A and B are shown apart, each in its own frame.
Chain A
Amino acid sequence: MSDEINYRKVIAVALADAMREDDSVLLLGEDVGAAGGAFKTTAGLFEEFGARRVRDTPISEQAIVGAAIGSALCGLRPVAEIMFADFAGVCFDQIANQLAKYRYMTAGQAHLPVTIRMANGAGAGFAAQHSQAAENWFLSIPGLKIAVPATVPDLYLLLRAAIRDNDPVLVFEHKNLFALKGPIPRDAEPLRLGVADVVRRGSDVTIVATQQMRHRSVEAAELLAQDGIEVTVIDPRTLIPFDDEAVRASLEQTARLMVVQETVQAGSWGASLIARMVQHHFELFDAPPMLISTPDTPAPYAASLEREWLPSVDDIRISARDLVNW
């Protein structure tokens, strides 16, 4: 456990471990092979596993996802890379109408052990078509699991779990976390999809956040602690399935819920979580739930605008204080 590695590099470590364990695991995507990936997240894999298992594709997102689906129907366990999550738009049919529904429409005649990895999120100045937190696009399509790792060990464990899973899993790798460091949890128990991480515990307010927003929430919580406000931060780690129970249990203590997300409110996981909590656990609330989101605009380019667009540590800190004082 002593080896520290960054979020970018742990991806290839997880993929290599999965490929050594199971010969039916193969990678496909644009420049994932000899070039090591547009973000260098597959560096070294081509050298170890060769062109049969690490396959460079043309710029053909529909064919990448479709080939993953077809090969999974025939017994393989493919990992497809969509370079930027935004590009899921050009293969939306393959993900939404094919991958998600194939098992149901055929009454379980086939498994779909497909993992799709996509680079996600804002904060690095990639502008509107390369910065979306696209996981929200897939929330309303039954049949897809969604993983949103925020730390190095979670990324390792979630990728391993996604590849072992017999259902399709979309794994969103946050671009603005690539430099984050952490240990490789090779000796840890395998992670089950759908188990939240309670990052810190406090009795005044529950903040639920993923990826970049999880880290900002923890920072805000530490500042609030200096003022005597004790915050629980929960990282659900997967959006489907979602660990509602972890949030409910925390609400029993705090009676106050805030969700922080890197996307607009409409059709978001945060809005859905709040709806479920209010619907089923109304009696637990001492204050209205709060949803911190981005403004209803595309992601802007300029540093000043993007900084303004993303929920900041200060936004979270001030809102949490308001919520506690409600």
Chain B
Amino acid sequence: MTISMEATASLDQGPPDDAVDLLAMMLRIRMFEDKVMDLFSQNLVRGSTHLCQGQEAVTVGVCSTLRPVDTMTCTYRGHGAVIAKGAALDACFGELLGRVGGLCRGKGGSMHFADFSVGAIGSNAIVGAHLPITVGAALASSYVGDDRVAVSFFGDGATNIGAFHEALNLAAIWKLPAVFVIENNQYGEYSPLRATTPIDRLARRADSYGIPGVLVDGNDVAAVRSVAQSAVQRARAGDGPTLIEADTYRQVGHSRSDPATYRPAGELDRWLAKDPILLLEQSMLARWSEADLDAVRQAAQHDVDVALETALAMPEPPLDELAKDVWA
């Protein structure tokens, strides 16, 4: 029943033609998240925040196959996904800082980045809850007969919540244009996957829904993109949803307060050696010079620094914002 789809490209075959753009986006996300860590230690970020350093190739690879009209939902660990979908960095920082110029005028915060103008239709802080919503977005495309695709990013842990099952089952029987992407970063909050999940390859769960399940190296942006492309094409062609498992690693703790001491010795180092940005840069050296890469790095850092400065100058929301937007 399951159609197997293999990655048709990988960085081993050399860098993609648009490697500079992919690298720039991954660096912007990495540098954004590093800055968030700083802001956190300065007490400028309220509540909690969940960072995605190490996972950038998944969201950048997938989103590079999407158009602004395609929709994307993601988790509270979603800064990278929303930036990869095209949201402006200054508005992202503004949201994080609780400023009126933020994506959601400071009402959502770190866990609720959304920018409908680029198709980022919501970051969800309830594990798995955005999967049924993604089904609805895909239903809308199929209902009106346009060719928009609905993509959802979620964690390995989310494959154990009921909403995952209900969403994939419904998307499958209605053959909806949805792509479900597991960011398998090996952990829930603090529990390793094997402690919570009786199978080791989550893509196999696709079998229950009669849809393709694909495993991909989530640190290889070219490989991620190639499986995403097939899944998106399949969706647009009316052949239904795909489940992609992108194997990756969360290089930092789960959230602000987590030093991640539960990781076995050597695990982080093994994954750092496969850092997605490092892998892309290494492959790019076949066609670009170290100086070229440096220029990309500097431009990304400049973008992030300027965006933060802009955001820090944004005012806090006026108090009349409190009562706005409850009702249409």
Interface set of A (CB-CB < 8 Å, partner B): 26, 52, 55, 57-58, 60-63, 65-76, 78, 93-94, 97-98, 102-113, 142-143, 165-167
Contact = CB atoms under 8 A, between A and B. Distances in A.
Given A58-B166, A109-B115, 7 more contacts: A58-B169, A60-B166, A61-B166, A70-B140, A74-B141, A107-B103, A111-B328
Contact of A66 (B148, B163, B328): B163
18 contacts: A57-B170, A60-B169, A67-B132, A67-B170, A70-B133, A70-B140, A71-B139, A74-B137, A74-B148, A93-B129, A97-B129, A103-B327, A104-B107, A105-B108, A105-B112, A105-B122, A107-B325, A113-B328
A113 B118 CA distance: 21
B245 to A, nearest CB: 21
A58 B170 CA distance: 7
Nearest to A74: B140
B173 A58 contact: yes
Given A70-B133, A70-B138, A62 B162 contact: yes
Interface string B92-127: 000000000001110110001011100001101010
Given A63-B169, A63-B170, A106-B108, A74 B114 contact: no
B139 A67 contact: yes
A105 B150 contact: no
A73 B121 contact: yes
Contact of A67 (B112, B136, B144): B136
B173 A69 contact: no
Interface string B148-162: 101000000000001
Given A62-B163, A65-B132, A104-B325, A70 B169 contact: no
B324 interface: yes
Given A98-B126, A167-B327, A71 B140 contact: yes
A149 B247 CA distance: 52
Contacts of B326: 103-104, 142-143
Contacts of B137: 70-71, 73-74
Contacts of A107: 103-105, 107-108, 321, 324-325
B98 to A, nearest CB: 12
Given A76-B140, A110-B116, A63 B328 contact: no
Contacts of B135: 63, 66-67, 70
Contact of A93 (B126, B148, B150): B126
B143 interface: yes
A110 B173 CA distance: 27
Given A60-B170, A108-B324, A142-B326, A70 B143 contact: no
Contacts of A105: 104, 107-108, 112, 114, 122
Contacts of A113: 328
Contacts of B132: 62-63, 65-67, 69-70, 94
B104 A106 contact: yes
Nearest to B115: A109
B104 A66 contact: no
Contacts of B170: 57-58, 60, 63, 67
Nearest to B73: A70
Contact of A63 (B103, B167, B325, B327): B167
Interface size class for chain B?
A: 35 or more
B107 to A, nearest CB: 5
A60 B38 CA distance: 43
Contacts, number: 143
* Most A CB within 10 A of own CB, among B114, B115, B126, B140: B140
B219 interface: no
Nearest to A61: B166
Nearest to A166: B328
A107 B100 CA distance: 10
List 9 A-B pairs, minimum CB-CB distance, nearest first. A66-B132, A70-B136, A74-B140, A166-B328, A63-B166, A108-B325, A60-B166, A70-B133, A67-B136
A52 B129 CA distance: 25
B168 to A, nearest CB: 9
* Most A CB within 10 A of own CB, among B71, B143, B163: B143
B131 interface: yes
Interface in B160-193: 162-163, 166-167, 169-170, 173-174
B229 interface: no
B134 interface: yes
Contacts of A58: 166, 169-170, 173
Nearest to A76: B140
B175 to A, nearest CB: 13
A103 B104 CA distance: 10
* Most B CB within 10 A of own CB, among A26, A71, A94: A71
A74 B143 CA distance: 11
Contacts of B133: 66-67, 69-70, 73, 98
Contact of B129 (A78, A98, A106): A98
A75 B144 contact: yes
A165 B327 CA distance: 10
Nearest to A114: B136
A60 B170 CA distance: 8
Contacts of A142: 326
Contact of A110 (B103, B121, B134, B169): B121
A107 B170 CA distance: 29
B136 A74 contact: yes
B116 A71 contact: no
B25 to A, nearest CB: 23
Nearest to A52: B143
Contacts of A106: 104, 107-108, 112, 114, 116, 122, 325
A72 B150 CA distance: 14
A105 B102 CA distance: 12
A221 to B, nearest CB: 34
Contacts of A72: 136
Nearest to A67: B136
